[in-house]
Amino acid sequence: MRTTSDWPIVVGIDGSPEASHALRYAVREAERQGCYLWLVNAIHEIVPLAPMWPLLTSDTLVDVGHELLAEAQTVVEELSSSRVSVRVQAALGPAVDVLAAAGEHARLIVLGHRSPALMERIFTGSTTFGVAARASCPVLSVPRDFDADREHGIVVAAVDGTEISPHVLDRAFTIAAERSARLEIVHCWRLDPFYSYLIDEWSVQDEWRGHTSEVIDRLVEEASSTHPSVSFERWLEYADVTDTLVRHSKDADVLILGRHGHGTRPSALVAAVLGSVTRAVLHHAHCPVEVVPAPRPAEAHDEAPLPSPARVPEPADVIDT
């Protein structure tokens, strides 16, 4: 029986500077965790054409995908001095679908992310958002301007006191232990300004702090018991959630957020979406942001076919090299 400890880190490869930056980050993570990289290029079967574009065939797109993967594999070998094993795969389909499916056999998906301008946010979708909303494993978004060589030795975990919080804390303590880093556990909340005119905000704040302190303390005590070597600090802030997390991300090596619900395949009728806070933090955080889903069903750990450099599944719509 194989477990998730044998599983790779998936990296989305599309030839963009953001993907290249994410690849470099993933190499360091693979070295840290002692696993291999699974480089995935999604070849969309529907190509938008413009008058200035040459006629593109599916064979051309496949060839381009293989070239991008070959270049990425060379980068991994150079950065790791061939210490990190690599498996590459070009798969037909939309990037979100392909990467979310790969995540069913992975410990982590690493993607590059560029914070677009306001008008771009309105008119374009985001692969990062789509994968983070659907994947059954954690998804890590690396900002383009993040310097992975400059480590602060700080991991930040954002907890909300709900059922996802124990999983976020367990993941955060594990990452802090791997990095020999200090863990900052942040819980923040603020009454909507509309209600502050109707309710005594000071009394609400005192009640919130008293109740929340008990809940967070209990969750932290349980999570820290399995990682006694990790030093941590707890922050309870009556403040805007997004602004607070972005502020804490300035001196962090990674920020961990939770996502409610299990990973789901995209549906024509029901689309998985991220909450507004998660989307905003992914846009504006200064450090990589990891979105942690609820745990996978136990049976998926035991029998799912796991890809490896030596053996890979061969579905009809997958092109391996």
115/306: higher pLDDT: 115
In this prediction, residue 205 carries a pLDDT of 62
Q: What sign for the dihedral angle of Cα 141, 121, 266, 313?
A: negative
* DSSP 8-class letter at 239: S
pLDDT-derived band at 77 (thresholds 50, 70, 90) equals: very high
pLDDT at 214: 80
The encoded tokens of residue 67 equal 């070239």
For 96, residues 6+ apart whose C-beta sits below 8 A from its C-beta are 127, 130, 131, 134, 266
Q: Which helix (H) or strand (E) holds 207?
A: helix 201-224
Three-class SS of residue 307?
Answer: coil
- pLDDT (mean) for 84-104: 93
The pair of three-digit structure tokens given for residue 80, joined into one six-digit string: 């790791």
Beta-bridge partner residues of 64: none
What confidence tens digit (pLDDT) does each residue in 164-200 have?
Answer: 999 999 999 999 999 999 999 999 876 555 555 545 5
pLDDT digits (tens, 9 = 90+) for 245-302: 999 999 999 999 999 754 444 443 344 678 888 999 999 999 999 999 988 665 444 4
- Can you tell me whether residue 287 is helix, strand or coil? coil
Residue appearing with tokens 């309870």 = 236
Phi and psi at residue 106, in whole multiples of 5°? -135, 160
- Which pLDDT band, with edges at 50, 70 and 90, does 95 fall under? very high
Q: What is the mean pLDDT of residues 29-52?
A: 80
pLDDT score at 123: 37
Q: By the 8 A CB rule, do 28 and 148 touch?
A: yes
Is the Cβ–Cβ distance between 144 and 112 less than 8 Å?
yes
Least confident segment among 30-34, 67-71, 185-189, 306-310: 306-310
Q: Residue 202's pLDDT is what?
A: 59
- Say how many C-beta atoms besides its own lie within 10 A of residue 228's C-beta: 8
Residue 65, pLDDT score: 87
| Torsional class of 15: left (φ above 0), alpha (ψ -120 to 50), beta (otherwise) | left
Q: Rg of the chain's alpha carbons, rounded to an integer? A: 21
Ordered structural domains, the chain, with CATH: 1-116+124-149 (3.40.50.620), 151-295 (3.40.50.620)
List the structure tokens of 157: 């975990």
* 55 band by pLDDT with thresholds 50, 70 and 90: low
Give the number of other Cβ atoms within 10 Å of residue 90's Cβ: 24
Q: Per-residue confidence at 57, pLDDT binned at 50, 70, 90?
A: low
89, 150, 83, 93: which is closest to 287 by C-alpha?
Answer: 150
Q: Which string of DSSP letters, residue by residue, matches 55-116? A: P--HHHHHHHHHHHHHHHHHHHHHHHTT-S-EEEEEEES-HHHHHHHHGGG-SEEEEEE---
Written as six digits, the tokens of 292 are 């942690």
13 pLDDT more than 70: yes
pLDDT given for residue 175 in this prediction = 96
